[in-house]
Chain A
Amino acid sequence: MDDLIRLVGVTKAYPVGDAPPVPVLHGVDLRIAAGDFVAIMGASGSGKSTLMNILGCLDTPSSGDYVLEGRNIAELDVDELAAVRLRLLGFVFQSFNLLPRIDVLDNVALPLLYAGVPRRERHRRAEQLLGRVGLQGYGARRPNQLSGGQQQRVAIARALINQPRLLLADEPTGNLDSETSVDVMRLFGTLNTEDGITLIIVTHEADIAAYARRRIRFRDGRIVEDTATEPLA
C-alpha cells in the first residue's frame, strides 16, 4: 500500500522563556499507509498531542521531514498549510469545537466557506452529511441544543464535508458516555472501511483503541510500541 504519511526523524521542541527549548518529540519515524486506522496511545505529556498537531498541519516540526501525500509539509508556509488542511484533512476534537452562535447546518458547512463553495451548494452538501451521520433534520438547531454524542456527530460531519483523505481525532470519545462512544467509534469504522478514509485517533482508553487496526504507544516523545491488531467490528 502507498504511504499517505511518512515521518522521518521528526523532532519538536518548545521554547520556554530564556531557557533552552524543551524537547517534546525525539526523532519520530513513522509511516502510515493510505486507508489505515491507527490509534495513538500514551499518557498525557508523552508527546502524542504534539504529534497530532504536526500531522494535522497546525504545527511544523523543529527538524525532520513530514511527507503527506508526497509533499514535504515542513517546507510550506502558513497559507499553504491552511490549503492542505482544507483539501486533505478533517479534525474531530474531544470538546467538539462547534461554533455556538451558528446553527448545525452552517457548522457542518463551515470548511466549504473557505473553499469558496457557493452558499446553496454548501447547505446541500451539509444536509447530505447530516443524513450520513444520522442527524437528518437537525440542521436548524444550535449546537447547545444537542446531546454530546449528537454534537460529536455534527463535528464528524463537518470533518467529512471537504472529502478529506485523512481524519484526525483527538480523544473523540473523551467527553462521551460509553454507549455513545461505541456509536461514534462504529461510525469511524464505517468511514474507514466503506469510504477508505485514513483515520488517526488519539486515545488513552484501550477499548477505544481496540477499534483500530494498528496501535502506536508513545512515551516521553518516542514510539515505544507499534502493533497491528484485528479491529473490532
Chain B
Amino acid sequence: MIAALAAESLRGLRANRLRTALTMLGIIIGVAAVIVMLAVGQGAQSMVSSAIASMGSNLLVILSGASTSGGTRMGFGTIPTLTGADAEAIGELPSVAAAAPTVIEAAQMVSGPNNWSASVTGTTPEFLTIRAWQLAEGVPFTEVDVRSASRVALLGLTAATNLFGPASPVGKTIRIKNVPFTVIGLLAPKGQSLDGRDQDDTAVIPLTTAQRKLFGNRFPGTVRFIIAQAKSEDAMVRAEREINELLRQRHRIREGQEDDFTVRNLTALAETAAASTRIMSIMLGSIASVSLLVGGIGIMNIMLVSVTERTREIGIRVAVGARRRDILWQFLLEALFISLAGSLIGVGLGIGVTHALAAALGMPTVITPWSIGLSFAVAAAVGIFFGFYPARKAADLNPIEALRYQ
C-alpha cells in the first residue's frame, strides 16, 4: 500500500518537474553547506590537534623573569636568570621526565651558492625527546657534543630544502654566521605550530656551541628558556610546583620576594586552542544548519501551494475511497522524496565543493561519515517535519468542498 502511494507521490513530483527541482534546490544547498562547513571545521580541528601532537606532550616552559629599570618593567627574558645548571636540576626532579635548556636566535646560514635565514636552536639531546622529534636521516648529537661544543647541526626540512634543494644535507657543511657546521641529521617534518610558525624552518645545534661560538651573550651560561616534560598528565601540577620551589631555592629568592622566572603550562594552552577551533566548527555547522532550515520552510511553502492547487484532485481521490491516511501519506512522501533526493544531491555537491576548496585555497578539510550521516538525517527530519502540516491539511479537506473547488 505504501509502495503504491509512493508511486503516486513520485508521479505527482514528476508532473511538476521545475517546481520539484526548485524546491529540492533549497535542501541541496542546505545539505551541501552543512557538509562543507563541517569539513572546514573538522579540517581546522585536525590541524590543531596535529599541531598539538607535534609539540610534544605534558610540556612546561620555564621563562626567565623580567628586569626592572628605573620603574619600567621589561618583558620576560630581559634578565636571563636561568642557566644550564638550572635545567639539569629540573631534569632530576621526581615528577619531571626531562628538561632541556634552550637558546634560540635567528641566524643566516650559507651552503655554497645558497643562503637562508632561519631560527637556530641551541639545546641538549633531551630537547628532541621532549618534543617527540624524530630524525628522518642521520644521527642526533650527544652529551659529548654538548660538552665539547662541537660544530654539528640537525637541519629541519624547510631549512634543508632551501639550502640543498631535494638533495640530502647529511654529511654536508653549512656556515651559520660564518661558523662552519657539519650537518649530521635531518629532522622529520613537524609542520605548523599552533601560532602558525613553520617548525621545520630551523637548525638545532648543541647548547654550548650556540652559547660560545655563535651568539655573544652579556650573561655567559644563561639560557632563554627551559622546556621540561612532566612524567604524566597527572604530574603536571606537581611538576609545576616542584620547579617553582627548586628555582626559588636555587636563585635564593626570599619569602615574599617576587619570582625571577615564570612556569607556563603549554598543554593548557593547547587545550584552549583546541576548544576554540571546536567552537568555530560548531558555529560554522550551526550557520549552515540555518540554510537547511530555510530549505525545509521552502518545502512547506511549496507543499502548501501544491495542496491548494490540487484540492480537486484530493476531492476526487477521497470520493473514490481514499482514506485520510492515504492522502496524508501521499503528500508526506512527496515532501520526503524531495528532501531525500535533495540531500543525496547535496551530499554529492558538498563533497565536490569541499574538494574544490581544498584544492583551490589549500584549506585543510576533513569529510567524516558522521557529518554526511548527520546532514542526511537532519534533511529527512526537515522533510517530514515541514511536510506534515501541508499533508495533514490535504487529508483534512472536506471532500464535498474539494470536489466543488475550481
Tell me the A residues contacting B by CB distance below 8 Å: 53, 56, 58-59, 78-79, 82-83, 85-87, 91, 93, 97-99, 101-102, 110-111, 113-116, 119, 158, 162
Q: How far is the CB of A198 from chain B (nearest CB, A)?
A: 18
Which residues of B from 95 to 138 have beta carbons under 8 Å from A?
Answer: none
CA distance A27 to B123 in the complex (A): 108
Chain B interface extent, by class: 20 to 34
| Chain B 301-329: CB-based contact to A (< 8 A → 1; otherwise 0) | 00000000000110111111111111000
Residues A85 and B324 in contact, CB atoms below 8 Å apart: no
Known contacts A102-B11, A113-B8, A114-B326: does B319 contact A56 (CB below 8 Å)? yes
B8, B324, B403: the one within 8 Å of A93 (CB) = B403
| Residues of A contacting B399 in the complex (Cβ-Cβ under 8 angstroms) | 58
Residues A59 and B321 in contact, CB atoms below 8 Å apart: no
Q: Quick check: is B400 within 8 A (CB to CB) of the other chain?
A: yes
Residues A101 and B319 in contact, CB atoms below 8 Å apart: no
CA distance A92 to B400 in the complex (A): 14
Q: List 27 A-B pairs, Cβ < 8 Å.
A: A53-B400, A78-B324, A82-B322, A82-B323, A83-B323, A85-B320, A86-B321, A91-B319, A93-B403, A97-B319, A99-B316, A101-B11, A101-B12, A110-B317, A110-B320, A111-B320, A113-B4, A113-B5, A113-B8, A114-B317, A114-B320, A114-B321, A114-B323, A114-B326, A115-B321, A116-B1, A119-B7
Q: Closest residue of chain B to A93, judged by CB?
A: B403
Q: Quick check: is B15 within 8 A (CB to CB) of the other chain?
A: yes
A82, A98, A102: the one within 8 Å of B321 (CB) = A82
| Residues of A contacting B4 in the complex (Cβ-Cβ under 8 angstroms) | 113, 116, 119
Q: How far is the CB of B140 from chain A (nearest CB, A)?
A: 76
CA distance A116 to B3 in the complex (A): 10
Tell me the B residues contacting A by CB distance below 8 Å: 1, 4-5, 7-8, 11-12, 15, 312-313, 315-326, 399-400, 403
| Residues of A contacting B325 in the complex (Cβ-Cβ under 8 angstroms) | 79
| Residues of A contacting B316 in the complex (Cβ-Cβ under 8 angstroms) | 97-99, 110
Q: What 4 pairs across the A-B complex have the smallest Cβ distances? A: A86-B321, A111-B320, A101-B15, A82-B323
CA distance A53 to B400 in the complex (A): 7
CA distance A56 to B316 in the complex (A): 13
| Residues of B contacting A114 in the complex (Cβ-Cβ under 8 angstroms) | 317, 320-323, 326
| Residues of A contacting B319 in the complex (Cβ-Cβ under 8 angstroms) | 56, 58, 85, 91, 97
Q: How far is the CB of A132 from chain B (nearest CB, A)?
A: 18
| Residues of B contacting A83 in the complex (Cβ-Cβ under 8 angstroms) | 321, 323
| Residues of B contacting A111 in the complex (Cβ-Cβ under 8 angstroms) | 320-321
| Residues of A contacting B321 in the complex (Cβ-Cβ under 8 angstroms) | 82-83, 85-87, 111, 114-115, 162
| Residues of A contacting B400 in the complex (Cβ-Cβ under 8 angstroms) | 53, 58-59
Residues A97 and B322 in contact, CB atoms below 8 Å apart: no
Q: Closest residue of chain B to A82, judged by CB?
A: B323
| Residues of A contacting B322 in the complex (Cβ-Cβ under 8 angstroms) | 82, 114
Q: Closest residue of chain A to B320, judged by CB?
A: A111
